[in-house]
Structure formats: C-alpha cells, structure tokens
Structure 1
Amino acid sequence: MGAHLVMNGGVAMKSFCVVLLCGFMGTCQANDGWSSELSHATGGALLAGAITRVYDDSENRAWIGFAVSSAGIVLSESYQISQGAKRSSSYLDMASHIAGAALGAWWMDKYGLTPVIGRHSVGLVMRRQF
C-alpha cells in the first residue's frame, strides 16, 4: 500500500496530508498574542518560500513568492473583516504574515535555491577531481 501512495509523484500522499490538515483546522482558535502573530509570520515565511521554490527558474522568484503569499493573506483577512472580524486583529495578522513572507521569500531565494543566471549576472561552475 505504501508504494502505491508514493507512485505518481506522491499525489495520493499529498492529497491525504491536505485533507488531514484541513480536518484539524476546525479546532483552531484565534487570539492576538505573540504565539498567534508568530504563527502568522511562520505561515507567511513557509508559504512564500514554497512559492519561491515553485518559480525556481524565474529571475523574480522571490518577488513572486512574496506577492502571492501576501495577496493570499490580504484577501483572506479582508473577507474576515467583511464578515465582522475586528479590524485591528486582522491588520495585525496581515502585517505579521507579510513580514514572514518577506523573510521566507528572501531566505529561499538567497540561501535555499541555486542562483539564477540571467541577463545581468554571470555564473561559474568549477569542478575538481579529488
């Protein structure tokens, strides 16, 4: 059974994980403490880093990761405000997520991925047999 879940690029396992995580979302509660804002920043960093990784070949991959992650939280929190959530809490969540997104996209671009060779950069590969 386990080999079947890994086949096809692990799609079945990824789908299972997404369904499992969505099932736990109902037990979440919101507050404006440090732990809440740290979790928003961490989520923003992870989401922006993952999106940056997806756009690995683009010269603007960090900007893409940051923008998509930030747009997602702005849309989400705007919807919550329209449904009657406290504006100050939603703005704090947005700011925390966006700060995390900036850090996550920057880190992934700078340290997590190989440099992109573009029109304004030069790369060098050096091999030496030991």
Structure 2
Amino acid sequence: MNRLARFAGFGSDDRGQVDRDDLATTQAAVADAGAEAGQAVDDPETLREPIIAALRQVHDPEIPVNIYDLGLIYKIDIAGNGDVDVDMTLTAPACPVAGLMPVMVKDAVKTVQGVGEVAVELVWDPPWSPDTMSDEAKLTLGMF
C-alpha cells in the first residue's frame, strides 16, 4: 500500500462507514427548517447541501476518495415532503461492493434531518469515467 493511500485511511476497517458524529454539523444545518421526516419541507433544496455533505462521508473501500467527489452520484432528487431519490453508479459493474454501496448511500442520506424515505438506484448509463471526478479527487489520487 502506498503512502498516500495509508494517509487517506485506505484499508482501515471503518472505510465506507458513515461517522454519525461527523454529520452533527450537517444535521444542524437543516434543523432550522423544522422539518421532520415525511413532512412538507419549506424548501426541499435546503436539504441538498447537507445530503451532499453526508455523501462525502461515504468512501469506496478500494479508493481513498469519497463517493461524491469520485463522481459516483449522478442524481439527487428531493421531493417536497423530504423524500430523496439518488441515482448512483460504481467505478465498474463487477465492483465487489456493488451490493453494499447503495445501502451505505441510503444510510448516509437518512442521517440528514428532514429527509424522509430514501431510494437509491444503481445505474450504469452513462458509464463512470475518471472525467466525472472532482479536481480534489484527482489531486488526491495523483491524477494531475
């Protein structure tokens, strides 16, 4: 394992797990909306940034970059009642965490106060490519 991967925590037992303590700030950001799960949200878009922050706590166990910056999240639809639909992909169809990753995404999104039901769909079109990665992710992986 290279030094960068160790520094980023690659290979540790808790990679891919959502640290609910780290999400306390995220939850506080939407607390002012006064929304409870399943109830109407004044402006569903107020949930977008906290949801993205929660998704940034989820890491692909094989790559030391969060799934949002890795470009695995294609769509986040937020309904007026706080229900959230997420379309995501994986870096490869034969990814060994294909069954686990959507569950990790659902669990992360559910930690955001004001979110109701969460549905995660695994999609393959368009196929993932390194072009979907954020500049920060490319820098972390030495692709610049």
TM (normalized to structure 1)? Answer: 0.34
Instruction: Report which of the two structures shows the higher radius of gyration computed on alpha carbons.
Output: 1
TM (normalized to structure 2)? Answer: 0.32
